[in-house]
């Protein structure tokens, strides 16, 4: 079960990696692949990497329907020893709170150590953190 939300603030905290793509479902695989690569760099287990890939896909499923026309899908990655936080956001002037009873939210809540939502300044962001289950994981 997730905690209240990641302690990363995308406004104040500079991401280690940032990827900007068109807000289109066709590009979700790029974010998922980037997530897997970064998690492998942190020595996450194969199971943890697959959990992250799935969670990022579900986060995208929550934000993409809210995206304004012509908006970008932005993935921000925060790397810490044995921990990866991913923030997925879109420009969304009229975004509402994601449905926490949806399948996508339930998957996120199950797979991630922490999940949070931020709606501010015309942007909807879903952030998730996963801590590695591998004891030797790190940078």
Average pLDDT, the chain: 89
Q: What's the pLDDT at 9? A: 57
Which region holds residue 90: left if phi is over 0, alpha if psi is between -120 and 50, else beta? beta
Q: How far apart are CA 63 and CA 78, in angstroms?
A: 19
DSSP assignment letter at 66: G
Q: Are 138 and 30 in contact (CB under 8 A)?
A: no
User: Which helix (H) or strand (E) element contains residue 25?
Assistant: none
pLDDT tens string 26-51: 999 999 999 999 999 999 999 999 99
15-29 as b/e, with b when 16 or more CB fall inside 10 Å? beeebeeebeeebbe
Q: How far apart are CA 133 and CA 73, in angstroms?
A: 29
Residue 121: is its pLDDT beyond 60?
yes
Q: How far apart are CA 58 and CA 109, in angstroms?
A: 10
* Coil vs helix vs strand at 12: coil
Which of the pair, 1 or 6, is modelled with greater confidence? Answer: 6
Name which of 7-11, 72-76, 85-89, 90-94 the model is least confident about.
Answer: 7-11
Mean pLDDT of 8-16: 67
């Amino acid at each position: 079960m997730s905690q209240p939300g990641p302690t990363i603030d995308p406004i104040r905290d500079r991401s280690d990696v940032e990827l900007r793509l068109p807000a289109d479902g066709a590009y979700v695989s790029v974010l998922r692949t980037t997530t897997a690569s970064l998690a492998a760099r942190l020595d996450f287990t194969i199971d943890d990497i697959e959990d992250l890939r799935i969670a990022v896909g579900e986060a995208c499923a929550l934000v993409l329907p809210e995206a304004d026309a012509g908006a970008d899908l932005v993935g921000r990655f925060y790397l810490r020893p044995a921990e990866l936080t991913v923030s997925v956001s879109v420009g969304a002037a009229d975004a509402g709170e994601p449905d926490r009873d949806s399948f996508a939210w339930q998957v996120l809540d199950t797979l991630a150590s922490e999940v949070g939502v931020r709606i501010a300044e015309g942007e909807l962001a879903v952030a998730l953190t996963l801590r590695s289950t591998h004891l030797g994981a790190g940078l």
